[in-house]
Structure 1
Amino acid sequence: MPRVIVTRPAREAAHWVQLLGARGVDAVALPLIAIGPCRDAAAEQALTQAHARLAQYRALMFVSGNAVVHFFEPNKALALDGQVLAAIKTRAWAPGPGTARALEQAGVPPGCIDSPAADAPQFDSEALWQQVSGQIRPGDCVLIVRGRSSTPQGVHESLGSGRDWLARQIEAAGGTVEFVVAYQRGAPHFSAREVALAQQAACDGSIWLLSSSEAVAHLAEALPGQHWGAAHALATHPRIAEAARAAGFGTVRECRPALEDVVASIESAA
């Protein structure tokens, strides 16, 4: 069975390496997105204001597990107990099982969490909306908790096509949307060992498990001039598969981001 390169941010990558290892898959973490808190005063003030206004939101939509971790970060002065959401009847929306798991770990009662059905074709904003569209009434406000990306030119708060689409659906239903940045994404800083691992995995039959278009871009930036024609990618969303093909991956397959589907796809490639 081929080795799998898990490219999620460090926290999720470690979890996936453990899950895959338990299924007999040789997996190694090579995070392609670095995650950290937003340290500028404006971002911290906006987050504090969002904490203070929780009861005014119909729902909080978390774009990822990292959004959850940094929104409920224990060392913040206004750290929240997830049970607060149940008391004020604010829903917590998760686009996939990883985010839902992070919410439960933060103390949010499972009964307060909405996420796509376990058998949904994709775990994304579109699948989430199928579950939560009936919750929105005219005048309701949804807070979308997201990250922002840092680049050599500075930082930018890209919505992502899924979040942008979700915001339009909420507004079409008569609701309003606010955004708050809870963490910052950036390109990884590869060690010499990680560069060697990536170069080897580009041509030795390893399967790159890709779960973010941004991660694909970071990989291309980290290894300029690397030829990817012999590389194999397993993408967990059509948009990510498109980015992998554009980056030059010779073999690109798609699968649902659920563990069973990922393992089945890896086994079929053996």
Structure 2
Amino acid sequence: MRLLVTRPQPQAADWVARLSATGFEAAALPLLRTVASEEPAAPAAREAVARCDGVVFVSPAAVTHFFEAARGVWPWAAGRWAAAPGPGTARCLAAAGVPAQCIVQPAADADQFDSEALWQQLRLHVRPGAAVVIVRGDGGRDWLAQALAAAGAQVRFVQAYRRMPPAPTPEERVVLDEALREPASHLWLFSSAEAIGHLESIAPGADWSAALALATHPRIEARARQLGCSRVWTSRPSFDAVVAAARAVAGTP
């Protein structure tokens, strides 16, 4: 069975490499693109981060695009925390040089890696009057920002990137065609409800009733079923959990 990684690049390539190392055949078929914004490079944004108590990075893309553009926030202040909603974002923060003791993330055994799970840990670090910067793409959920504000924090947003529809390469088109032709031998790994919506535009009129899908959140599962997938499994979004769930679907040990 071939696993189809639908995350944006460069996350997709990283997941393909890690999945291949576990013995799976995997291919990247990004259903979202991220394009860098100029805002993190602006003096006002750099100053806001340099002076704040903590920064929330909503995704690996937020980390990648922010640190590619931002200057003047190094070395990372020992008293400034960096929050990540899941292990993928935390790994990116560590790779960017943020000290491990500064990274706040959900508990390793959390049912989900999302804003609600992050808040259970983050609320211990937020005091009334704290200055918090949320680094994100264009739009997104405001739940965490509202929770921070309710706790007395002063919240500012920095847009690090824009989300764009996919632009499949010829090689990715071949992968898509093979998945549509042989649905039983492909397992879609869905990590974004928005990304699933793009399948309808790049494969108009496709029959998804026989497709196999693994979703990393109940909202994503619901969107996959709305697409037409009748066989959808759910998994915690950690890499190990996805691997275990994929092996169960594939019937391998």
TM interval, shorter chain, is over 0.9
Q: Name 1:38's counterpart in structure 2.
A: 37
Is 1:142 the equivalent of 2:142?
Answer: no
Deviation per residue, 1:161-204 (Å, 9 max, x gap) = xxx11111111111121111011220111234423321321343
The match for 2:118 among 106, 112, 128 is 128
Q: Name 1:195's counterpart in structure 2.
A: 173
CA distance in 1, matches of 2:248, 2:40: 46
Offset at 1:217? 1.1
Would the aligned equivalents of 1:14 and 1:29 in 2 still touch at CA under 8 Å? Answer: yes
Is 1:116 the equivalent of 2:97?
Answer: no
Is 1:85 the equivalent of 2:88?
Answer: no
Would the aligned equivalents of 1:72 and 1:80 in 2 still touch at CA under 8 Å? Answer: no
Would the aligned equivalents of 1:230 and 1:250 in 2 still touch at CA under 8 Å? Answer: yes
| Change in CA separation of 1:44 and 1:58 when aligned onto 2, cut-off 3 Å | closer
Would the aligned equivalents of 2:90 and 2:103 in 1 still touch at CA under 8 Å? Answer: yes
Q: Name 2:160's counterpart in structure 1.
A: 182
Q: Which moved more, 1:185-194 or 1:98-107?
A: 185-194
Q: Name 2:149's counterpart in structure 1.
A: 171
Q: Name 2:188's counterpart in structure 1.
A: 208
CA distance in 2, matches of 1:134, 1:141: 15
AA in 1 matched with 2:118: L
CA distance in 2, matches of 1:212, 1:69: 18
CA distance in 2, matches of 1:90, 1:249: 44
Q: Give secondary structure in 2 for the equivalent of 1:233.
A: strand
The match for 1:58 among 53, 56, 70 is 53
AA in 2 matched with 1:220: E
CA distance in 2, matches of 1:236, 1:181: 25
Offset at 1:44? 5.5
Offset at 1:16? 0.8
CA distance in 1, matches of 2:93, 2:104: 10
Q: Name 1:69's counterpart in structure 2.
A: 64
AA in 1 matched with 2:241: D
Would the aligned equivalents of 2:40 and 2:158 in 1 still touch at CA under 8 Å? Answer: no
Count of paired positions: 248
Q: Give secondary structure in 2 for the equivalent of 1:69.
A: helix
| Change in CA separation of 1:248 and 1:91 when aligned onto 2, cut-off 3 Å | same
Q: Which moved more, 1:230-239 or 1:182-191?
A: 182-191
Is 1:95 the equivalent of 2:73?
Answer: no
Offset at 1:79? 5.4
Q: Name 2:215's counterpart in structure 1.
A: 235
AA in 1 matched with 2:156: E
Q: Name 1:155's counterpart in structure 2.
A: none
Offset at 1:243? 1.0
CA distance in 2, matches of 1:20, 1:4: 8
Deviation per residue, 1:199-245 (Å, 9 max, x gap) = 32134321000111111011111111111111111001111111111
Q: Structure 2: where are the runs of 5+ without partners?
A: none
Would the aligned equivalents of 1:8 and 1:211 in 2 still touch at CA under 8 Å? Answer: yes
Offset at 1:38? 1.8
Is 1:257 the equivalent of 2:237?
Answer: yes
Q: Structure 1: where are the runs of 5+ without partners?
A: 149-157
Provide TM-score, normalisation by structure 1.
Answer: 0.87
Q: Name 2:43's counterpart in structure 1.
A: 48
CA distance in 2, matches of 1:79, 1:246: 45
Q: Which moved more, 1:195-204 or 1:216-225?
A: 195-204
CA distance in 2, matches of 1:53, 1:263: 39
| Change in CA separation of 1:260 and 1:84 when aligned onto 2, cut-off 3 Å | closer
Would the aligned equivalents of 1:54 and 1:90 in 2 still touch at CA under 8 Å? Answer: no
CA distance in 2, matches of 1:204, 1:223: 14
Q: Name 1:222's counterpart in structure 2.
A: 202
